[in-house]
Amino acid sequence: MTSPQGALDRRLAELLAEDVGAGDVTTEWTVPETARARGALVAKSRCVVSGLPVARRVFALLDPDLAWRDEAAAGSPAEPGSALARLEGRARALLTAERLALNLLQRMCGIATATRRYVDAVAGTGCKILDTRKTAPGLRAFDRMAVADGGGSNHRAGLFDMVLIKDNHRRLAGGVGAAIRESRRRAPAAMRIEAEVESEEELREAVAAGADVVLIDNQTPETVAKWSAIARRAPRPPVIEASGGVTLARVRAYAEAGADCVSVGALTHSVEAADISLELDVSAA
């Protein structure tokens, strides 16, 4: 079985290969092979920190003797001009790894920053902010880590770890109730079954069929409040999730309407990367 570290290294090696190809010609032709450098990863924009272990591993794959010191903790706020980490190593390795390390770090800090804004917006309501599967292909593990660092919660990791019945499933299964019952018959006892609903009739059908979670999709906060009240009168009330174009300005209204959690695709599909740079100086050999 591949260890989590082994899986991470394999993915990062694939991403490095995409960038480096046959070799970093600029660095190899301009920087002496024996040159060393030291420097810092510096925030240029205000952000929430995420991804330093990933960035560190990118550099370490090319320089196993890398010296590294974190200057900020995951989930902490960083102000413009502050150092996130300091590093020292072989200059060629640092330059070759720079762009991949920064791409991942900037994306992860951007996701963590956006997540924190949503988490702060619902503070005190008990509502959780969830991510979705609307991630960049190949980067889901990094995106999920960043959401968690921002104070959010991770939804399902993929298609394999929970049932989520959506509109096309409902149509092809013959209705939400039929889809839930067949899923319950096949699913392991511990696997949660969630059903998306778009009408009060579907809500009642999903609750009667025993959905663990009901996803109220593309409805107003007023409708979420009404449907949540209906669902919670059931002998075994489901968790209520709201989703569908929920903006930062409106997320608290959904939380106050009774949603236990709100899933926000924009956390990962429309991320604004943080501005971070690698600033290097020559180091003694």
**Going edge to edge, which strands form the sheet with 163-165?**
128-130, 261-263, 239-243, 213-217, 193-197, 163-165
Alpha-carbon distances of 274 from 42, 84, 109, 111, 149, rounded to whole Å: 11, 12, 6, 9, 14
Tell me whether residue 196 is one of the annotated catalytic residues.
yes
Q: Residue 229 corresponds to which tokens in the numbers above?
A: 């009240």
- Count the Cβ atoms, other than its own, within 10 Å of residue 65: 9
Residues 55 and 102 sit within 8 Å (Cβ to Cβ): yes
Please name the residues in contact with 267: beta carbons below 8 A apart, sequence gap of 6 or more: 111, 114, 115, 118, 129, 131, 132, 143, 147, 150, 152
Give 102's Cβ-side CA count (13 Å radius): 17
**DSSP type of residue 153:** B
Residues 123 and 93 sit within 8 Å (Cβ to Cβ): no
| Catalytic residue from among 9, 198, 217, 256 | 217
| Catalytic residue from among 98, 196, 202, 260 | 196
Tell me whether residue 99 is one of the annotated catalytic residues.
yes
| Catalytic residue from among 44, 86, 99, 192 | 99
| Catalytic residue from among 38, 44, 166, 204 | 166
Tell me whether residue 28 is one of the annotated catalytic residues.
no
Q: Residue 81 corresponds to which tokens in the numbers above?
A: 């001009």
Tell me whether residue 166 is one of the annotated catalytic residues.
yes
| Catalytic residue from among 44, 134, 156, 250 | 134
Tell me whether residue 44 is one of the annotated catalytic residues.
no
Residues 206 and 195 sit within 8 Å (Cβ to Cβ): yes
Q: Measure the CA–CA gap between 135 and 147, rounded to whole angstroms.
A: 11
Closest CA to 132 of 264, 260, 259: 264
Residue positions annotated with a catalytic role: 99, 134, 166, 196, 217
